[in-house]
Amino acid sequence: MPALRASRRAQGRASELEGRRSGALPTPHPGGRRQRAFRMGGVERQRGDVSSQGTLLLIGGAEDKVGSKVILSRFVQLAGGAAGRIAILATASSFQDLVGQRYQALFTALGAGHVDVLRVGDRAQALHEEPRAQLAAATGIFITGGDQLKLTAMLGGTPIAELIRQRHRAGAVVAGTSAGASVVADHMMAYGASGIPPRKAMMHFGPGLGLIRGVVVDQHFGARGRAGRLMTAIAHNPELLGIGLDEDTAAEIEASGWMTVLGRGSVLIVDGAHITYTDIHNVPDHAPLAIFDMRIHVLSAGYHYDIPNRAPHLPKETAPFPETGYVWGEGI
């Protein structure tokens, strides 16, 4: 009997191998792990899928505007350079004209072919034909900083919000800095407190634009001490992946979920998938949380992260660290 069982197992393995060779059975992910599904813009994808979906460039705020401008230059490149059309959305800012005009001058100087500043200061203007036409032609969309809750309150349910999603699905790159980075996810970090440790009521979710699902994005991360509130967000729902962006630092996320870090700071990843215990549902609102087995990764320029499989990756070569030209809080 043992010999018969061994023979049947061998036959089964041979049959399975033949099935994979013929395409009848899926090839397992390297390391024996199945790939996680990844959703960007509401479309479920597997790592490595070919997609016309555009890239996301999420910036932690205060990006360099006077030195090498690595991040802003990358956005112009992704938007098509001299052949591209960039639309700037400064709705989140209290100084929309000033902020919009500054980015317009920067992108033009960096070689962008055409740059529009959308006039969308309230919900009524979000219905106007001119900004809708400008957005419909854009190959790159740049969402400035300010107040992300103001941004969703002004744009939610309007043609402008839907056009951003449509253009991204069609392949346009969407960049957001500061509040503009937080708003791209479906779970948006609406507001919260700074500090450590994580506490139950130190952050509040709101609905974002939904360009990427399954993540929550925070910005000005190190400068404003926001590690605690990002950990709290993940404790609320460990299925989410937390992305904390330092100032003058960006996460470039391809449609497949492959992320690359740019800039002078770091990106902190908070992975709650392996949490074995948290008391968030039992403690008072302002009490510190207990969390077991939360995973943290810290990535600097050139490092990668595979979002669907929740795996960090080494860079092909380590980028030299910039020693000058950056002070926390510079810029608007």
- Picking from 119-133, 200-214, 237-251, 313-327, which range would have the lowest pLDDT averaged per residue? 313-327
Is the predicted pLDDT of residue 144 greater than 50, yes or no?
Answer: yes
CA distance 207 to 203: 14
pLDDT of residue 26: 33
pLDDT of residue 321: 65
CA distances from 265 to 132, 183, 230, 323 (A): 35, 21, 17, 11
CATH 3.40.50.880 fits domain 47-313: yes
**For a pLDDT cut of 70, what percent of the chain falls above it?**
80
Write out the two tokens for 229. Answer: 């509130």
Write out the two tokens for 29. Answer: 């992910």
pLDDT of residue 316: 87
> What pLDDT, in 10s, does the model give residues 54-106?
999 999 999 999 999 999 999 999 999 999 999 999 999 999 999 999 999 99
Write out the two tokens for 318. Answer: 């380590």
Nearest-CA neighbor of 56 among 71, 36, 37, 35? 71
Q: What does pTM read for this prediction? A: 0.84
Mean pLDDT of 39-49: 55
Write out the two tokens for 287. Answer: 């009490």
**For a pLDDT cut of 90, what percent of the chain falls above it?**
79
Strand order in the sheet with 295-300: 215-218, 241-245, 266-271, 295-300
Is the predicted pLDDT of residue 110 greater than 70, yes or no?
Answer: yes
Is the predicted pLDDT of residue 47 greater than 90, yes or no?
Answer: no
pLDDT of residue 42: 56
Residue type at 115 in one-letter notation = V
β-strand 249-253 against 203-207: which pairing, if any? unpaired
What sign does the CA torsion over 306, 279, 246, 211 have? positive
Is the predicted pLDDT of residue 260 greater than 90, yes or no?
Answer: yes
pLDDT of residue 40: 72
Among this protein's residues, is 16 annotated catalytic? Answer: no
Which pLDDT band, with edges at 50, 70 and 90, does 137 fall under?
Answer: very high
Among this protein's residues, is 220 annotated catalytic? Answer: yes
Write out the two tokens for 214. Answer: 């399954």
**Which one of the listed residues 247, 256, 266, 300 is annotated catalytic?**
247
pLDDT of residue 322: 59
Element of type H or E holding 15: helix 2-22
Q: Residue 19 contacts by C-beta under 8 Å, 6 or more apart in sequence?
A: 25
CA distance 308 to 214: 10
Nearest-CA neighbor of 222 among 245, 205, 204, 197? 245
**Which one of the listed residues 114, 168, 220, 236 is annotated catalytic?**
220
Residue 127 exposure: Cα atoms within 13 Å on the Cβ side: 3
Mean pLDDT of 17-39: 41
Other beta carbons within 10 angstroms of residue 278's beta carbon come to 23
pLDDT top residue among 235 and 332: 235
Residues, the chain: 332
Contact between 88 and 104 (Cβ < 8 Å): yes
pLDDT of residue 273: 97
Is the predicted pLDDT of residue 327 greater than 80, yes or no?
Answer: no
Is the predicted pLDDT of residue 35 greater than 70, yes or no?
Answer: no
pLDDT of residue 5: 46
Is the predicted pLDDT of residue 328 greater than 60, yes or no?
Answer: no
> What pLDDT, in 10s, does the model give residues 150-196?
999 999 999 999 999 999 999 999 999 999 999 999 999 999 999 99
Mean pLDDT of 23-44: 46
Other beta carbons within 10 angstroms of residue 33's beta carbon come to 11
User: DSSP string spanning 66-109?
Assistant: SS--HHHHHHHHHTTGGG-EEEEE-TTSSSHHHHHHHHHHHHHH
Among this protein's residues, is 247 annotated catalytic? Answer: yes
| Beta strands in the chain, from DSSP E residues, in sequence order | 38-40, 43-45, 56-59, 85-89, 114-117, 140-143, 173-177, 187-192, 203-207, 215-218, 241-245, 249-253, 258-263, 266-271, 277-278, 291-292, 295-300, 304-306, 311-313
